[in-house]
Every structure is written in structure tokens, then in C-alpha cells.
């Protein structure tokens, strides 16, 4: 499931937080993109911005929002990557003025992309767009 590049400036705190978290996570080296998961549990409807595939923000009982990220990663150590993702989300939420709203951050890796597989997919996509002849 591809990442939906949407970052609504307006909307509820929940959707803004979800968008900021997804954008921050997608920018971390080693993260290939967001993934809604097989049952589309990691999706946040952001109104006019369309669905955000790869993130879910849920209100916590004692205030704030828990952010649950569903990601596709490269072949890298997953624990270290999750740590970098959390740091990036914390930083981005703080910069967006949503730091106080941010609760626990959970990271789920739905898929790990092999570089060879990624190359093959990119090649197949290039064949599709150029109508059979790979781009030079």
C-alpha cells in the first residue's frame, strides 16, 4: 500500500498529528513507506487530504493521542530503525506544535523490502510507464 503524501494544515488535532507522524516516519532513512496493513488497520481518514495509509492516531484516556505507524522498511536492523522513527516523530510533532498531544508511538513493520526486490519492482514500473522500453 503506497504512502499517501498528504499533510493537512487544517483538520482535527488527531488527523494533523497522524499526518505529521507519517511524514516524519517516511523521511527516516531505512523506511520505504507507509503501509495500511492487510486489514487496513493503519489508515487515518484526513478528510479533503484523502486517507493516510500507514498511520492510526487514537485518543488516549488521559489525554493526547497514541500514534500507531504501519511501515515498510528496507533490510536494516528493525529496533534501531524504530528508535529513529520515534525520534523523528517526536521532533516533527514538537515542531508542528503538537508535542503535548503526542502519546505512545507504536511501530509495526508490515513488510521488509529486499533491495533486489525493490530494484525489480522499480524496473517493472519503469517498463509500465515507458510502454515496454526501459528508461535510459
Partner 1 sequence: MILARLLVRVVTFLLLLLLALLGLAVALAAIEPGTGADAAGLPGLRDQVGAWFDGLEGGEGIAVPSLIGGAAAALLGLLLLIGLLVPRRERLVVLRRTDHGSLGARRRALAGVARSLAEQTRGVSAAKVKVKPRRRGGGRLRVNAARPRPTDEKAVERSIADQLESLTGPFRLKASVRTRAGERGERVQ
13-26 helix and 78-95 helix, angle to the nearest 10 degrees: 130
| Chosen residue from 38, 61, 63, 132 binding partner 1 by CB under 8 A | 38
C-alpha cell at position 8: 493537512
- Asked if residue 120 binds partner 1 (CB under 8 A), the reply is no
Which residue number, 49 or 82, has a Cβ lying nearer to partner 1?
82
- Asked if residue 56 binds partner 1 (CB under 8 A), the reply is no
- Asked if residue 7 binds partner 1 (CB under 8 A), the reply is no
- Asked if residue 107 binds partner 1 (CB under 8 A), the reply is yes
- Asked if residue 64 binds partner 1 (CB under 8 A), the reply is no
| Chosen residue from 26, 82, 96, 98 binding partner 1 by CB under 8 A | 82
- Asked if residue 61 binds partner 1 (CB under 8 A), the reply is no
Residues that bind partner 1 (CB under 8 A): 37-39, 41, 66-67, 73, 75, 77-79, 82, 86, 104-112, 114
Amino acid at each position: 500500500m503506497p504512502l499517501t503524501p498528504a499533510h493537512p494544515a487544517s483538520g482535527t488535532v488527531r488527523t494533523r498529528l497522524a499526518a505529521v507522524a507519517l511524514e516524519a516516519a517516511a523521511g527516516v532513512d531505512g523506511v520505504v513507506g507507509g503501509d495500511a496493513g492487510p486489514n487496513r488497520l493503519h489508515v487515518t481518514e484526513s478528510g479533503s487530504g484523502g486517507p493516510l495509509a500507514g498511520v492510526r492516531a487514537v485518543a488516549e484516556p488521559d489525554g493526547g493521542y497514541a500514534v500507531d505507524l504501519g511501515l515498510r522498511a528496507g533490510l536494516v536492523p528493525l529496533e534501531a530503525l524504530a528508535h529513529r522513527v520515534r525520534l523523528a516523530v517526536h521532533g516533527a510533532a514538537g515542531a508542528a506544535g503538537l508535542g503535548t498531544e503526542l502519546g505512545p508511538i507504536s511501530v509495526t513493520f508490515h513488510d521488509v523490502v529486499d533491495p533486489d526486490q525493490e530494484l525489480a519492482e522499480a524496473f517493472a514500473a519503469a517498463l509500465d510507464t515507458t510502454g515496454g522500453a526501459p528508461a535510459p
